[in-house]
Amino acid sequence: SLIRFVKSLFRMNFLVVGIMLVMETEYVHYYICPMHTVFFFLVWGLTYPFREYHHTHSWVVWAKLFVGLIFCATFWLNDFLFDAVFRWFPFLYYEGSLHEWQFRSGLDRFATLFGMVFAFVYPDLEKILFQLDEMGFQGTIIKSIITAFFSFVLYVWWITLGTMEKYAYNSWHPYTSIIPIVSIIFVRNMFPRLRKYYLWGFSWIGKITLETYLLQFHLMLNNNNKQIVNFFDDYPNLNFLFTWLLLLGMAHQAFKCTVVLSEFIYPYSLTSRQVITHTSLLCVFSLFFVFLALFSSYLAASTSVLWFFWLLVFVGLVNY
């Protein structure tokens, strides 16, 4: 639905836009956000047409995935085509060039398709896994063989690719990043005893991954993201613990603010026309502050206005 579509885009970009305006940084500096946004549009573009056939004609889904594969395999390797499309989006430039955006997004150009394939076959894999659970000793033997196989695959990946020098590995990453992910998923979930346990901390942090990623650049790192912010000179462990707790606390608060504001601006009761109206007003409101930041002859004053605006949002949402 349109409301879910817009809420997803809002969730991915609200905080990063605010940080950009306040800190006067570039969108691609936080490349995870534009990358997720672009691939979100890719998923939507592949799944929306002929969606009524997804549950009745599996070949339609496989055909879409094949189209997506051809697109990702050619688009990021063709500089002319890449520039022809993204040259019209100046917010994707980094220091006046699209090179950083092409490199960053190209590293994970197949990741979304891998995820779509896994999501499509997941129900069948789940049925097979439950059948193996019910087969008793024979099923245990089969699952042990599968676990051993993926453990071996993970080991081979590590000794061949996982230990590579960073720049040498970059050329392999788009095609092989799925190997450790799938291997760990199978090993982790093959037996019921392992499936029923999980770490609550990882589950909690998973909800604020986006905010943690964005705020680390300004709460935990400095010197062009090459050093950690230092509060306690002689106590590095204490300093790390303090900055990490500060980061998690602020990230959780930013997550809550984003969710509450999303519900306030885009409640699920909105009609499609109201969604468009709210989005238009939000864009106009945001462009007003962009205008202040870009064209005001008193940049410090405009930055103060932006700080004040985001402070009001923060305080208002905390008390909402």
- What is residue 146's predicted lDDT score, i.e. its pLDDT? 92
Output 91-99 pairs: Cβ under 8 A, ≥24 positions apart. Answer: 91/26, 91/27, 91/28, 91/34, 92/27, 92/28, 92/34, 93/26, 93/28, 94/26, 94/28, 94/29, 95/26
Contacts made by residues 219-227, CB under 8 angstroms, sequence distance 24+: 219/243, 219/246, 219/247, 219/250, 220/244, 220/246, 220/247
Q: Is 316 helix (H, G, I), strand (E, B) or coil?
A: helix
CA distances from 55 to 58, 67, 121, 126, 168 (A): 7, 19, 12, 17, 42
* Lookup: tokens for 81: 């085509």
pLDDT in tens, the chain (320 residues): 677 788 888 888 888 888 887 777 888 888 888 899 889 989 988 888 888 888 888 888 899 999 999 988 888 888 888 888 888 888 888 877 888 888 888 888 899 899 999 989 999 998 998 898 888 888 889 999 999 999 999 999 999 988 888 888 888 998 988 999 999 989 988 888 888 887 888 888 888 888 999 888 888 877 666 677 777 878 888 888 888 888 888 888 889 888 888 887 777 777 777 777 767 766 666 666 556 555 554 444 445 445 545 554 554 444 44
- Here the tokens at position 268 are 């699920």
Which residues, 6 or more positions from 250, have their beta carbon under 8 angstroms from its beta carbon? Answer: 211, 215, 219
Cβ atoms 100, 94 nearer than 8 A: yes
- pTM for this one? 0.77
Q: What pLDDT sits at residue 134? A: 87
- Residue 157 has a pLDDT of 92
Could you tell me the two tokens for 97? 């060039």
Strands of the chain, DSSP E: 221-222, 227-228
Q: What pLDDT shows up at residue 183?
A: 92
Tokens 């410090």, located at residue: 300
The whole-angstrom separation of Cα 140 and Cα 137 is 5
